[in-house]
Structure 1
C-alpha cells in the first residue's frame, strides 16, 4: 500500500459499488450471530458498520466542501433524518404496540424516546436503559459523531497534516478508553469511547486517493475481522479486538472501493448478499427485540435463523413503504458521490 505522501493510488470506482452492500450484509450477519450466541465476538460487526459509514459520509462531505467551499449542515442533517428516521419510527411504533404485551411493567415509552432521540448510548452506559432497545446505542454513537463531524472536517482539512491529526486522535481515544479499566459497560456503549471506528473510516476517506489497495489487503482485512469475531469476548476484554476489527474493516472497504476484492468479490456481490446489505439498516433495527423475545425458547443456530428470517421480512416491508418516499422526494446531489452511505 502506498504511503500517504507518495504518488496517487488506484482510482475509486464511481457510482454504486455493490461490494459495499455486501460488506453491510457481512456486518449485520455478524451482529445477528452475536446476539444469537453463535459467534462470541460478532459484536465487531458494529465496528465494520462504523468504518464503512464514516468512509462514505466523509467522502460525500469532502466532495461538497471541494465543490462549494462549505458544508450545508441543515441539509446534511435533514437528509440523514429523512433517510434513517422513517424506519426507526416504524420499528419504535411497532415496539410500543407489542412490547407491553411481552414485557409488562417496563418503561417502554421512555425507552423508545431514548432511542428516538439518539441518546441511548450514554443512558444505557449509565442506567441500563433502554433494555429491550439496547441495540440503538450504535445509532446514537453515529448520530452524535455526525453532529460534530461536518463542523470539524473543514477545520481539519485546513491543517497541514490532517491524517496525522486523525492518527493522534485515534490513539488518544484508545488511551481514553483504556482508562476505564474493567468498567467495560461504560466504554462499550458511549460515543466518546466507541467512535474509533468512525475516526478510522474518516481517515480512510481522506487518504484513499493516495493509497493503493490490493487483493492481498482485502484477504488480510477479512481475516482480521473474522479473527476478532471468533476470538472476541463480550466483557472486560472486548476492547482488545476493536482495533483489529477496525483495521480489518478499513482494508476491506478500501479494497472494495478500488475494485480489488479478488476472491471475495463473488461472495460479497452475490444477490443474497446485496439484498441483505440493502436491508441491513432495517435488519439491525428489528433483529434485537425479536432476539430478546425468542431467547427464552431458542439459542444458537436455531435462534439465528428464527431471528434473521422475520428481520429480513420486516426490513423489506419497511424498505418498500416508509423508506422509499423520502428518497423519491429528495433532490439529486449536485455532484456524483459514492452511493450507499447510511
Structure 2
C-alpha cells in the first residue's frame, strides 16, 4: 500500500499547527502549551518523509539518497538562508535590540545547529540565538533526515517487512528510555532540544507510514485500523487542543514537568500519529473534509514553512519597535506577507529545481 501522493488533510493540519505556534510566540498566556504544535509537525514530517522513501523503494527497489538530500536541501535551505541574511543585515545596520548579535545565530541556524547550542544551556534560555531561536526545530528535523533514510534503507534491504515494522516500533521506545535516564530538572533544555530525545515524535509518524505500507488494501487489519483511527481522531485532536490551551509545556509546572519531559512527548506523538492515520485512511470523514478546505490546504502546502520561518523574527521586530496593541494581528499580517514573498521568490523556484532530475556529470 506504499503511496506518495499528498494528503490534503495533512496540509490543512499544518496550517492549524503553524497558527498555534504563531499565537504561542505572540501571546503565550493565551496558549501556554502552544508548542505542542511543533511536536505535531515532527510527527507529520516523519510520516511524510518515510512515506516518500517507502514509495520510492516499492517503485524502484532502492532509495536514491543523494537526490533525496538534494531535494530536502532545495526545499528548506534557500528560504532559511534568506531569513538568516535578513536577520544578519538588520543586526549590522540597525539598533533594534531584537536583532543584536544575530550574525553568529545566523551561522548556527544555516548549519541546523541551533538545537545543539540550546541543548547545552542551563537555567533560562539566553538570547544568543535571538530572532532565530525557533529554528531549533529545523535542526532536529534535518538531523533526523540525515540518519533515518540510511537506517530505513538498511532495514528494507536486509530485513523482512515485519522486522522493519518491529524495529521502527523499538526505535520509538528508545528516546523515552533515554529521557528517563537523563531526567533531572536542569536537563529540560537538553531533553527538549535534542534530536535523540525527540526522535520518537518523528519516528511515530514513520511507524504509521511503515504500518500502512505493510497492509494490503484487502487486509482486514487495515479495515480495523481505519475504523479505530476514525473513532479516535476527534478525541486525539481534542486532547492536543487541551494541551495547547492549558499545559505550560516549556515552563516549570511541578510534577507535570517531569511527566511531560519523559512520557509526555510520546503521548503527544501517539495522539499526532492517530490524527495522521485518520487523515490518511478516512479522507471522507468530517475532520478530513474540514482540514481539506482549499484555503487551509493551500496555506499548509505553500506557506506553512515560510510562516514558521518568519513569524518569530516578526514578533521580535514589532516588539523592539514598541508595539503592544494589536501585536497579534500585526504579526499575522506581516508574517503572511513575508511568507508569500518567500514562497514566490525563493521556495517555488527551488521546488521546481528539486523536481528536475539532478544533472549527471560527464565521463
Name the TM-score, length of structure 2 as normaliser: 0.81
Q: Structure 1 CA distance, aligned partners of 2:354 and 2:144?
A: 23
Cα deviation for residue 262 of structure 1 reads: 2.2
Instruction: Tell which deviates more after alignment, 148-157 or 21-30.
Output: 148-157
**CA-to-aligned-CA distance 1:3-52 (integer Å, 9 cap, x gap):** xxxxxxxx788733321110101111121121121211110111111111
Instruction: Tell which deviates more after alignment, 157-166 or 115-124.
Output: 157-166
Cα deviation for residue 260 of structure 1 reads: 4.2
1:309 and 2:333 are equivalent in the alignment: yes
Tell me what 2:242 maps to: 227
Residue 312 of structure 1 aligns to a residue whose secondary structure is helix
Consecutive unaligned residues of structure 1, counting only runs of 5 or more, are 1-10, 334-342
Q: Structure 1 CA distance, aligned partners of 2:107 and 2:354?
A: 27
Q: Structure 2 CA distance, aligned partners of 1:105 and 1:282?
A: 19
Cα deviation for residue 216 of structure 1 reads: 1.4
Tell me what 1:203 maps to: 207
Within 5 Å, give how 1:47-58 maps onto structure 2: 47-58=39-50
Cα deviation for residue 261 of structure 1 reads: 6.1
Tell me what 1:35 maps to: 25
Within 5 Å, give how 1:100-139 maps onto structure 2: 100=92, 101=94, 102-103=96-97, 106-127=100-121, 128=126, 129-139=128-138
Tell me what 1:255 maps to: 278
**CA-to-aligned-CA distance 1:163-201 (integer Å, 9 cap, x gap):** 222222222211212323212111111111122211101
**CA-to-aligned-CA distance 1:197-243 (integer Å, 9 cap, x gap):** 11101111000243422431221221232122123211351425422
Q: For residues 248 and 302 of structure 1, do their structure 2 counterparts lie closer, same or farther at Cα, with a shift above 3 Å needed?
A: farther
1:144 and 2:146 are equivalent in the alignment: no
Cα deviation for residue 105 of structure 1 reads: 8.7
Tell me what 1:6 maps to: none
1:163 and 2:187 are equivalent in the alignment: no
Q: Structure 2 CA distance, aligned partners of 1:122 and 1:261?
A: 42
Residue 62 of structure 2 aligns to a residue whose secondary structure is coil
Cα deviation for residue 269 of structure 1 reads: 2.1
Cα deviation for residue 132 of structure 1 reads: 2.3
Q: Structure 2 CA distance, aligned partners of 1:197 and 1:16?
A: 21
1:177 and 2:179 are equivalent in the alignment: yes
Instruction: Tell which deviates more after alignment, 151-160 or 202-211.
Output: 151-160
Q: Structure 2 CA distance, aligned partners of 1:319 and 1:125?
A: 31
Higher helix share: 2
Q: Report how many aligned residue pairs link the two structures.
A: 322
Residue 41 of structure 1 aligns to a residue whose secondary structure is coil
Q: For residues 259 and 13 of structure 1, do their structure 2 counterparts lie closer, same or farther at Cα, with a shift above 3 Å needed?
A: farther
Q: For residues 145 and 105 of structure 1, do their structure 2 counterparts lie closer, same or farther at Cα, with a shift above 3 Å needed?
A: closer
Instruction: Tell which deviates more after alignment, 18-27 or 104-113.
Output: 104-113
Consecutive unaligned residues of structure 2, counting only runs of 5 or more, are 216-221, 358-363
Q: CA RMSD in A?
A: 2.4
From 255, 275, 281, give the equivalent of 2:298: 275
Tell me what 1:87 maps to: 79
1:246 and 2:259 are equivalent in the alignment: no
Q: Structure 1 CA distance, aligned partners of 2:355 and 2:330?
A: 39
Q: Structure 2 CA distance, aligned partners of 1:225 and 1:189?
A: 20
Aligned residues of 1:228 and 1:244 also touching (Cα < 8 A):
no
Instruction: Tell which deviates more after alignment, 147-156 or 280-289.
Output: 147-156
Aligned residues of 1:232 and 1:241 also touching (Cα < 8 A):
no
Q: Structure 1 CA distance, aligned partners of 2:31 and 2:226?
A: 29
Tell me what 2:153 maps to: 154
**CA-to-aligned-CA distance 1:263-306 (integer Å, 9 cap, x gap):** 2234312233223312100000000111223346566x943322
**CA-to-aligned-CA distance 1:130-183 (integer Å, 9 cap, x gap):** 232110100000110111011100223333522222222222211212323212
Q: For residues 325 and 163 of structure 1, do their structure 2 counterparts lie closer, same or farther at Cα, with a shift above 3 Å needed?
A: same
